Structure 1
């Protein structure tokens, strides 16, 4: 039974998947059979192999797939032509010779496709690596810009905090002065009221000599 793996697909896994699937296409087999064979070789389920092929690997081997389909058609055509063109030769021997020739041709084609796939894979990884390097540089620059902006904001925050502290101190001073002034004004108002009341209470009368004297 095929083991279920949870790790990521490696470059070797993708190459095995491509080689086996292309071979099945050339030989007239089914992709399901290819996925089952690959699953047995790399320890994955056939469903996982099929998903990987359709979602990722197939896109990198479009040209190789077309070549494999043409080879399959040529293989079938050669078999039919050999049987029709040589009626005096044993059909079994013709098929055997044709099979040997095709297998030899397929071996060469498979090797070339494998090398082509490796080269394409390495080029893609080189491009991806260069793109990642570019992204890293952009992120590093963005990080430096944000650090500078953060430092400026910290300085601004410190300056504003200092200003707020000074304003609070001035406010407390003004508030204390205001309270003191209110107390002074209230005391003066009370003194004024008392003075008026004292004046209203004082009465005078004239004596026999014409002098004013205060009446208590």
Structure 2
């Protein structure tokens, strides 16, 4: 029995599966997994993707589900850690606030009002500037999107015209070849008779 030079061995399939399962657990993409496996197996990522989807994946359905559960659990614990603040940090913040209140000089109410008004003015101006910039950027993107849609429609129309022209050229070529064929047959008959 001949073995193709590029045939997949059991070890190749195993390495491909391990790589993809690791990427699933790490919340990475299959494309990245195919790229990595391709580098390790000296194959293209497309070949790895085809092999995974056509042959290997069906053998690892349970393992894929377990990897997805592990990914979900890892995300959940990561989110919980981010939400929890260390106790020492909370105490330090409370101490800092207390020290600031003790050391702060007494200020007049008008000075505080001025600061609040400045803050409100700044924030309202800042959000307005942001809003105007975002609106302007959005308008530019809408215009660019419209331009690209028009360009896409024009290119699609040109593509269909080229397909039609190609069909016509092929038909004309076929007709021309049949005329040449018939002419050559007539010429042969002349010489035979």
Q: TM-score, normalised by structure 1?
A: 0.41
Q: TM-score, normalised by structure 2?
A: 0.45
Larger Rg over CA atoms = 1
Task: Pick the structure with more helix per residue.
Answer: 2
